[in-house]
Structure 1
Amino acid sequence: MKNFKIYIMGMLLVFGSLTSCDEGFDELNTNKVDPTTLTPSFLMNNAIINTSFQDGFGTLVHLSYTFPIVQQIVTPFGSSLSGGNYNQNNVDNTARIWTTYYRTVVRDIVDVVQKTKDVEASVNTYHSARIWKAYVFQMLTDTYGDIPYFEAGKGFSENIITPKYDAQEVVYKDILKELDEATAALDASKAADPTDILYGGNVVKWKRFGYSLMLRAAMRLTKVDPTLAQTYVAKAVAGGVMQSNADNAATRHTALYVNWLADHLGAREKANYYLAAPFINYLRENSDPRLKAIAVRYVGAKSGSEQVNDRATTDPAKQVGMPMGYDNVTIAQTFAELGVASLWDFSQVNINTVLNRTAAPTYHVTHSQTQLLLAEAAVRGWITGDPATYFTNGITAHMEQFAEYGPNAAIPSADIQAYVQAHPLDVSTPEKALEGINTQYWVSSFLNGSELFANFRRSGYPALTPNPYPGKEITEEDFIRRLNYPDSEIVVNQANINEALTRQGPNKLDTRVWWDKKL
């Protein structure tokens, strides 16, 4: 009996101590350092920054695909760098924009839209986020075609982990609607977010960006729905597009948030990528003053280690572009004819000017691009104004934009005027005018991979010769028309991706997206 009493007393003491330990338990076990939620302004900035592939390797989608497809930058090397240079499917690199955007950018920007939708004090953040969301999804659908759109980015908020795919036509019509509503709703009389890294909360600039993006999206439909395209072009012009380079939508880089494309080409890929012959030849043959700022050649280099400053020249007359259609072995047969010592002797993008890792901005939508799209809209009779004037303004704006890369890239006003006077728009026929405008758009969009790839497919210009590499995987088309869905997506979302493929066509590089109608 005595032992039993002792046992009971012990148990009471234990329970008592447990009860006392319970006091303050929740407070003690609450992490006061790591956040459980993030403010919309932080998420918004994170989405904008990551759009430029702050994961680093995401830039390989451009280096391996969009740049070589439009024949501006190319590598002769295969393996992990293969893609558009060989017209082949590289499952790692075709997936990079998909995985980067859905896992980070889409997740963050959808969260911003949801968190600010009904918050009166965040009305401008809400509408700015809708504009950036439209920009991000336009790049995704331009690249892949049908994509998860309405259900995308809702894995946490609504537990949608296998989102359905929406037809590109539906996606585009909603993007245009969103841009129309959101841009019009921005209100300069209401509070804006001064920490916004794109425009510092400047609502007027956000409006001009929104309407310029609407113009871009509308012009994407010229082949498939010109009536709808014209309607939204008119809305964009009436709303007010970009007026100068001060309105450019660009990510400004620092030592904290470096230009990752520049980082790649200035470090691990420094000896692997070269300016393509079609691009170099076009600039040189037209005495384009941009060539001096864009290109550098390490004359006589016979290895990557010999690409040193003592060999560097930016003289336009000495630049030699790498021809398309060769690998790192077969390229040797071109050396004698082109006057180079090795593959390392071809011209490269200048990492001290247009690809300075901390000073070179990443441009998303520019005044120059906008003026050239207006030139095309005027040629089509969709807006008033002189196409030749828009054309000249677009070229001038891009050349003046080079000053933002630093003093060594700035183009003198006299050189700009000499160029535009020597290269007026040929309006002898609408087709000649469209070719001139979109060829200049090709130059104006240099380093803007997604837009280069999209506008080339839409317009058919510049008139490039198909890449003759013998091992190509495309059989129905002369050029790659889209990038393949990732293998990982096929594994985890098979039913929805199969439904999209039934509607769109095979998961192949030469399957055309909806707006890329074959005429």
Structure 2
Amino acid sequence: MKKLAYIIPGMALLAATVLTSCRKDFEEINTHPISTPVALPEQLLPTALANTVTYNMLRNRNFNNELMQVTIDMNDGDGRVFRYDFNRNWSDYLYTNLFIQLTNFKDVYKQAIDPLTYDKTYVGISLISQAWIYSILTDTYGDIPFKESNLGRDSGITEPKFDTQKDVYFGCFTMLEEANRLLNGAANLKVPAADPVYAGNAANWRKFGNSLYLRMLMRIAEKPEVKDTVVKKIAEIAQTKTSTYPIIGAVTESAILRWTGVVPYVNPYNTVREQDFRSPAIASFFIDNLVAWSDPRINISLGSDGINRWGIAPSSEGFKGVPSGYEPGQGYVKKSYFYSNTSKKSMQTEELGGMILNAAEVRLILAEAFVRGYITNSNAQTYYNAGAQFAIQQWLPTWTVTDFQAYMANIDQEWDETLDLEGKLEKIHLQKYYALFMCDMQQWFEYRRTGHPVLPKGGGLQNGGVMPARMTYPIMIQSTNPTNYKIAIANQGPDEISTQVWWQKK
């Protein structure tokens, strides 16, 4: 992949050399007296952010949602993701495209760190963005190139070594520590339009970086070999050094790339044909809970133009789903589905579709940290209630605390301190499941880490009925980086979807 990634820059250099030899004053004549021949951070950042969110959203729709019983791409053929059965060709898309975006974010860093153009806000944003991408890559594949990744152009490393997932995580922690330091009191970006997430607000980027830090720490907190160190850092961020590590604390601070509908910020689901977008059925697990709770996110009266906020079409029987993992030949009929953009409200045009990390997730992380004994400030119920409330207010900003209290009183989801640890985790992660709706593959990652929420298992599941633990490496890696590929699978385990990544292994 790295070889492919740098073919074009290499060809450009060769062309420039040939042209210069033909006419030695070409560069002087054709250099604009004001503009720079090097892409500036404000030119690179918005494209890199939009592209990264685009790739995450497309994999959220057709991979995460199928595994995590949000949708079912109903078909009795082989290779159906909702049956834990998918081919190796699924792997290339995310791996290749996210590593390409890492090059863009690293270029932002190089331009911003240059003494002549130094801008610590861009440096901090770049470090956070890199850690964000590396975290998704390693949680998807396991061991990945990290220290030597994206160095083909500058250092000639076209066959990078794979780092262990542990080293990737702690390398990301170093990035996030540095970003937190740099963004402490940093100025906002001079070009707000360069930042489609926070409009250049440095303080909000700092909160996002520390919230990402907290997410990643929680993911590895139960690994015995690192637990003491990790739990100590969780307590610093969440309890003892909160002023040093500010985190997302309000819905308005959520990290979301908003698809305004103005080019280039057009929802990438618009690239999906309308008939294909509404083709998958809604899964029973996803919709049945919302129906049981009379959830406002599917309340038609609260949506725009008479369509519920999440753009889900009711059937003639109301909101009905299809059981996930069913055996081929059972003859289920699709009922509810996601509207296409020909309707008045659709996820194809949804502004909030670019979900990266939201306030509800942060509160629910804190709830889990409390019940596991990592922190002792406040209480689990306060964090849990705030998480559940923020998850709804993210989509319905006018929904009040009074609305939430009435909602919780009418459903069987109020906090219960008498539950054991697993019972409490089930409550937290059922709410987190809905809070992570549209958020890349975080539902899948969290389920693999905790086993919550408990998902029903149909008789048609493959892979021994066990949730896939990873994507396999792209097939091209075996030919473009064979030596390091072999070392990686020797260290991690067979290149199969059943091989657990480091933080899953007991």
Deviations 1:296-346 (A, max 9, x none): 33636xxxxxxxxxxxxxxxx71011221248x7352x3xxxxxxx43x33
Alpha-carbon distance in 2 for matches of 1:212, 1:182:
12
In the TM superposition, residue 146 of structure 1 has moved relative to its aligned partner by 0.3
Structure 2 Cα separation of the partners of residues 348 and 168 of structure 1: 36
Counterpart of 2:172 in structure 1 is 175
Contact 2:267 2:351 in 1 (8 A): no
Q: 1:253 to 1:22 in 2, by over 3 A?
A: closer
Please give the secondary structure, in 2, of the residue aligned with 1:299: coil
Residue number in structure 2 paired with 1:294: 310
Is the contact between residue 76 and residue 331 of structure 1 (CA under 8 Å) also seen in structure 2?
no
Check the 8 A contact 2:128/2:176 in 1, yes or no: yes
Secondary structure at the aligned position of 1:330 is classed as coil
Name the CA distance, whole Å, in 2 between partners of 1:459 and 1:508: 21
Question: Could you state the TM-score of these two structures normalised by the residue count of structure 1?
Answer: 0.81
CA 323–186 in structure 1, closer or farther in 2 if over 3 Å, else same = same
Asked if structure 1 preserves the Cα contact closer than 8 Å seen for 2:64 and 2:444, the reply is yes
1:427 aligned onto 2:417: yes
1:160 aligns with 2:161: no
Deviations 1:439-496 (A, max 9, x none): 11011101113211111111110011234325x2x24x61111111111122211111
- Check conservation: 2:314, 2:320, Cα contact below 8 A: no
Are the equivalent residues in 1 in contact too, given 2:311–2:345 (CA < 8 A)?
no
Structure 2 equivalent of residue 484 of structure 1:
472
Whichever residue aligns with residue 380 of structure 2, its letter is P
Decide whether the 8 Å contact of 2:221 with 2:230 is kept in 1.
yes
SS in structure 2 at match of 1:132: helix
Tell me the amino acid that sits aligned with residue 93 of structure 2.
Answer: R
Alignment: residue pair count:
459
Q: What is residue 92 of structure 2 aligned with on the other side? A: 95
Gaps of 5+ in 1: 1-20, 301-316, 335-341, 405-409
Q: How far, CA to CA, are the matches of 2:393 and 2:254 in structure 1? A: 12
Q: Is the 8 A contact 1:141 1:168 kept in 2?
A: yes
Q: How does 1:244-393 map to 2 (within 5 A)?
A: 244-255=250-261, 256-258=263-265, 260=267, 262-264=269-271, 267=274, 269-292=276-299, 293-294=309-310, 296-297=312-313, 299=315, 318-326=318-326, 330-332=329-331, 334=332, 342-343=333-334, 345-348=335-338, 352-353=344-345, 355-357=347-349, 359-383=351-375, 384-393=377-386
Structure 2 match to 1:67: 65
**Secondary structure in structure 2 of the residue aligned to 1:162:** coil
Identity of aligned residues (%): 25
The partner residue of 2:396 within 386, 399, 403 is 403
Mean Cα displacement is larger for which, 265-274 or 148-157? 265-274
Task: Work out which of the residue numbers 444, 460, 477 in structure 2 matches 1:469.
Answer: 460
Post-superposition offset of 1:134:
0.5
Structure 2 partner of 1:234: 235
Moved more, 58-67 or 270-279: 58-67
2:442 counterpart of 1:451: yes
- Aligned-partner Cα distance in 1 for 2:348–2:58: 18
Shift of residue 38, structure 1, vs aligned partner: 0.7
Aligned residue for 1:294, secondary structure, equals: coil
- Please give the alpha-carbon distance, in whole angstroms, between the structure 2 residues aligned to 1:22 and 1:262: 47
Q: Deviations over 1:383-432 (max 9, x none)?
A: 2111100000011111111136xxxxx65665422123343212212221
1:193-232 alignment runs, 5 A limit: 193=190, 194=192, 195-224=194-223, 225-232=226-233
Distance in 2, matches of 1:36 and 1:78, equals 54
Aligned to 2:312, the other structure's residue is in SS state strand
Q: Distance in 1 between matches of 2:126 and 2:381?
A: 35
Distance (whole Å) between structure 2 residues aligned to residue 267 and residue 31 of structure 1: 44
Root mean square deviation, CA, Å: 2.8
Aligned residue runs from structure 1 range 128-147, under 5 A: 128-147=125-144
Aligned to 1:192: 189
Code of the residue aligned with 2:102 in structure 1: it is V
Residue 236 of structure 1 and its aligned partner are, at CA, apart by: 2.2
AA in 1 matched with 2:498: D
Q: Which amino acid aligns with 2:503?
A: W
**Please, what TM-score do these two structures have when normalized by structure 2?**
0.83
Give how far 1:87 is off.
Answer: 1.6
Q: CA deviation at 1:36?
A: 4.3
Which of 379, 387, 396 in structure 2 is aligned with 1:394? 387
Change (3 A) 1:94 1:86: farther
Gaps of 5+ in 2: 1-21, 300-308
- Structure 2 distance, partners of 1:171, 1:276, is 34
Alignment partners' CA distance in 2, 1:178 and 1:359: 30
SS at 2:199's partner residue? coil
Q: Is the Cα contact below 8 Å between 2:64 and 2:440 reproduced in 1?
A: yes
How far, CA to CA, are the matches of 2:449 and 2:486 in structure 1?
Answer: 26
Match of 1:418 in 2: 406
CA contact (8 A) 1:245 1:397 kept: yes
Aligned partners of 1:361 and 1:83: how far apart in 2? 24
SS in 1 for 2:102: helix
Q: How far has the Cα of 1:282 moved from its partner?
A: 1.8
Q: Is the alpha carbon distance of 1:33 and 1:165 closer, same or farther for their aligned partners in structure 2, counting shifts above 3 Å? A: farther
**C-alpha deviation, 1:347, in angstroms:** 3.2
The change in CA–CA distance for 1:245 and 1:23 in structure 2 (over 3 A counts) is closer
